[in-house]
Amino acid sequence: MSAAVQYVLYIAILIALAMPLGRYIKKVMFGERTILSHVLCPVENGIYRLMRVDVQKEMNWKEYAVSVGVFSAVGFVFLFAIQLLQGVLPGNPQGLPGVGWDLAFNTTASFVTNTNWQAYSGESTLSYLTQAVGLTVQNFVSAATGIAVLFAFIRGFTKVKETGLGNFWVDMTRTVVHLLLPLNLVVALALVGGGVIQNMDAAKTVKLLEPVAVSSEGEILDGAVIGEDGVVTVEGTVIDGARIVTEQFVPMGQAASQVAIKQTGTNGGGPMGVNSAHGLENPNAFTNLIEMISILLIPAALCFTFGAAVKNKKQGNAVFIAMLICLVLALGVIAVNEQAATPQLAQNGAVDLTASAQAGGNMEGKETRFGIASSSTWAAFTTAASNGSVNSMHDSYTPLGGMVTMLLMQLGEVIFGGVGCGLYGMLAFAILTVFIAGLMVGRTPEFLGKKIEPYEMKWSVLVCLATPIAILVGSGVAAAVPQVMDSLNNGGAHGFSEMLYAYSSAGGNNGSAFAGFNANTVFINVSIGLCMLFARFVPIVGTLAIAGGLAGKKRLAVTAGTLSTTNAMFIFLLIFIVLLIGALSFFPALALGPIAEYFACMA
């Protein structure tokens, strides 16, 4: 019962915050006055002067796309270089060496595409300078790029017989200055207040309260007794070569500020390797709540922005409801499966699977301070949005719980999805939906008064199918490469799932992983990097092309013969199409992974 209350509360808080934020973002998009204007507009205008941006210049879709491309390319080169050179650059108190080319390529692609797949552990690989000037900057601008493209797309609907879609530099600046900076300031301060660290110190080595005995391979010995003479025994047997650990490595750094943008910008790449499961990144229930809500806040708000911008609030609500229904369904499956665990885990009642007294259920890979409800919710949120931050290890989820996280990514990250990109992805699916539905009622399909013709269709299918293509090609090729098998942590169906999850994460620009998978090899670094770039930039070009096409069209009148795109029928159909395309593309793959694993558990 209390778990159910938690789930409802999380969703309720999300909606309550997203609605006003959505209206605020609409004002930002159109450059209208907001409560923060008098503070932020001078900053915005200062940037325009500094960068010599002509605010009045409208870009057509090609100019807009070129601007996005150039901006991302410059960011790419800068981030790539700073990683290779971090060994000789300042801001590196731990003296970490430069990053290898393949890992640097992977990490660069990952952060430029708002994916934040991390084939490395932040605290032991990247200097503070790289994290702050490289990664955190991309966390802001890659998020803003997605939102800017969405703005251009929305203008495709609002404009009639025009070619201009707005100005990328203006959209980018406004998004960062008016939205991301103030929002993250608030979130970061709240996190610091909640106990997340924020300092410039080098990592520390602290004394353990109690020494721990480990084997010669470094594995912790359960039930070991450390004698006064330093001899380690387990149940009276002396362990040869055992070592006694008395100190612990504790990472430091500007965690709170980085965590804030990694959550709100659907980035997901945190300063610590274990992400928000780490005690210093996410110490307690309060910080967990803030971080979790932050994942979906902007993606959900943008639905309402869309409705307000196209002057059809019902349309925004309809898209929001479609996403919400999918999210709740996914969350339901994860929550039920994690709470019920598997027959093997139940061990005839030896493991507590109830939620009444303490966190019971499949607690493997989950933090006791979060329990099933907060872990499952986070898992659903982070894979629904293309965030990818984690507070529990998805690799340890039950087969079906883990499958849902994978499926959410495979659907193309359109269940809220990444900031901006989730919504434009979903709207591309809406275009496919009106196309099929429109034909069924005997009219040339139209969406928000704009006719959907071959040109729009061409780009829409590209936007919708970029993710399945990236995942299928990536994982298909990887399955044929013998070395990939060495990266697996498990055999059998779960081993296949680890590999499939990695490419799903890349193709969905998510960034989370089945943690057992060792992704830091040349082949995997490069192939995943390419998947991420494809799944990010193909849809961006497609989205802008559609926007260009739509903006140039006249708007058709609404009659009783017009298919409603805001009623329950349409919402149902939209969900159906999204699930159908996802299911048809990935049913065979899932059957060989989690589904096979599930039936093996049940047998």
Partner 1 sequence: MENMSKKKSGFADSGMILRAIRDSFAKLHPKTQAGNPVMFLVFVLAILTTGLWVLSLFGIQDAPGGYTLAIAVILWFTVLFVNFAEAIAEGRGKAQADSLRASRKDEDAHKIPSVEQKENATTVPGASLKRGELIIVRAGEQIPADGEVVQGAASVDESAITGESAPVIREAGGDRSAVTGGTTVLSDWLIIRVTSEAGESFMDKMIAMVEGAARKKTPNEIALQIFLVALTIIFLLVTMSLYTYSLFSAKLAGIENPTSVTTLAALLVCLAPTTIGALLSAIGIAGMSRLNQANVLAMSGRAIEAAGDVDVLLLDKTGTITLGNRQAAAFIPVDGTDEAELADAAQLSSLADETPEGRSVVVFAKEKFGIRGRTLSDKGMAFIPFTAATRMSGVDFDGSEIRKGAADAIKAYVTAGGRRYSEECERVVRSIAEQGGTPLVVAKNHRVLGVIHLKDIIKQGVKEKFADLRKMGIKTIMITGDNPVTAAAIAAEAGVDDFLAEATPEGKLAMIRDYQQKGHLVAMTGDGTNDAPALAQADVAVAMNSGTQAAKEAGNMVDLDSSPTKLIDIVRIGKQLLMTRGSLTTFSIANDVAKYFAIIPALFMGLYPGLSALNIMRLHSPQSAVLSAIIYNALIIVALIPLALRGVKYREVPAGDLLARNLLIYGLGGLAAPFVFVKLIDVLLVALGLV
Question: CB–CB of 105/531 below 8 Å?
Answer: no
- Closest contact distance (angstroms) between CB of 334 and partner 1 is 21
C-beta of 75 vs 438, nearer to partner 1:
438
C-beta of 191 vs 407, nearer to partner 1:
407
C-beta of 123 vs 456, nearer to partner 1:
456
- Closest contact distance (angstroms) between CB of 178 and partner 1 is 34
- Closest contact distance (angstroms) between CB of 263 and partner 1 is 32
Closest Cα to residue 169, out of 39, 288, 67, 94? Answer: 67
Helices (H) and strands (E) in the chain, counts: 21, 7
What is d(CA 449, CA 28) in angstroms, rounded to the nearest whole number? 25
C-beta of 129 vs 457, nearer to partner 1:
457
Question: CB–CB of 519/475 below 8 Å?
Answer: no
C-beta of 280 vs 493, nearer to partner 1:
493
**207 DSSP β-pair partners:** 247
**225 DSSP β-pair partners:** 233
- Closest contact distance (angstroms) between CB of 378 and partner 1 is 29
Q: Which residues make up the interface to partner 1 (CB under 8 A)?
A: 432, 435-444, 449, 452-454, 456-458, 461-462, 465, 468-469, 472-473, 475-477, 479-480, 484-485, 488, 491-493, 495-496, 499, 554-557, 559-564, 567, 569, 573, 576, 580-581, 583-585, 587-589, 591-592, 595-596, 598-600, 602-603
- Closest contact distance (angstroms) between CB of 335 and partner 1 is 23
Biggest alpha carbon–alpha carbon distance for the chain:
89
- Closest contact distance (angstroms) between CB of 507 and partner 1 is 12
Closest Cα to residue 136, out of 180, 172, 88? Answer: 180
C-beta of 302 vs 524, nearer to partner 1:
524
- Closest contact distance (angstroms) between CB of 326 and partner 1 is 18
Cα angle for residues 392, 467, 277 (degrees, 5° grid): 10
Half-sphere exposure of 455 (CA within 13 A, CB side): 12
What is d(CA 287, CA 259) in angstroms, rounded to the nearest whole number? 10
- Closest contact distance (angstroms) between CB of 467 and partner 1 is 11
- Closest contact distance (angstroms) between CB of 481 and partner 1 is 9
Return the exposure string of 175-212: e unless at least 16 CB atoms fall within 10 Å of the residue's CB, then b.
Answer: bbbbbbbebbeebbebbbebebbbeeeeeeeeeeeeee
C-beta of 299 vs 468, nearer to partner 1:
468
What is d(CA 547, CA 179) in angstroms, rounded to the nearest whole number? 23
What is d(CA 438, CA 456) in angstroms, rounded to the nearest whole number? 14
Cα angle for residues 55, 309, 316 (degrees, 5° grid): 145
Beta-strand pair 243-250/446-447: unpaired
- Closest contact distance (angstroms) between CB of 603 and partner 1 is 5
In which region does residue 349 sit, left (phi positive, over 0), alpha (psi from -120 to 50) or beta (all else)? left
- Closest contact distance (angstroms) between CB of 317 and partner 1 is 18
- Closest contact distance (angstroms) between CB of 108 and partner 1 is 27
C-beta of 57 vs 554, nearer to partner 1:
554
C-beta of 249 vs 572, nearer to partner 1:
572
- Closest contact distance (angstroms) between CB of 187 and partner 1 is 39
What is d(CA 68, CA 147) in angstroms, rounded to the nearest whole number? 12
C-beta of 129 vs 526, nearer to partner 1:
526
Beta-strand pair 243-250/204-214: antiparallel
C-beta of 412 vs 420, nearer to partner 1:
412
What is d(CA 493, CA 488) in angstroms, rounded to the nearest whole number? 11
Beta-strand pair 224-226/450-451: unpaired
**233 DSSP β-pair partners:** 225, 238
C-beta of 311 vs 554, nearer to partner 1:
554
Question: Amino acid letter at 441?
Answer: V
What is d(CA 494, CA 5) in angstroms, rounded to the nearest whole number? 33
Beta-strand pair 243-250/237-238: unpaired
What is d(CA 574, CA 315) in angstroms, rounded to the nearest whole number? 12
Cα-flanking dihedrals φ and ψ of residue 281, to 5°?
-95, -30
C-beta of 432 vs 547, nearer to partner 1:
432
Q: Which two tokens stand for residue 574?
A: 């939209």
